Amino acid sequence: MDLPVEERTVVVTNPQGLHARPAELFARLALKFDSDIEVIRESLRVDAKSILHVLTLGAVQGTELVLHARGADAKQALEALARLVGNDFVADEKLSQESPS
């Protein structure tokens, strides 16, 4: 059985790049999906579900990354991850749960 494959290109817009906190949010979100998810920067291809692997990309502001997913929920996974990158690594759930202080 061939599993669906999805691919999407994103650009890191966060001024601090993909440092520890964004990498942790990214990997935690990727873990919520059953699909195999990889992040590709040039010739480097890493497991999106591993914070350490994501950090090895050294993605600074302006870095283009290709998100690649294979599995039943591949499309949903890439939509969610692309949204996270596009929102400068502010999780949607976090925005909706925060109350004004």
Residue ranges covered by each domain of the chain: 5-90
Q: Does domain 5-90 have CATH number 3.30.1340.10?
A: yes
Model's pTM, two decimal places?
Answer: 0.87
What are the φ/ψ torsions at residue 69 (nearest 5 degrees)?
A: -135, 145
Burial environment of residue 24 by CB neighbours within 10 A (0 to 12, 13 to 18, 19 or more): middle
Alpha helices, H only, 1-101: 20-31, 51-55, 74-86, 92-97
- Which residues are identified as catalytic? 19
Q: What is the pLDDT along the chain (101 residues), one digit of tens a residue?
A: 688 999 999 999 999 999 999 999 999 999 999 999 999 999 999 999 999 999 999 999 999 999 999 999 999 999 999 999 999 998 665 443 443 43
At 93 the pLDDT is 53
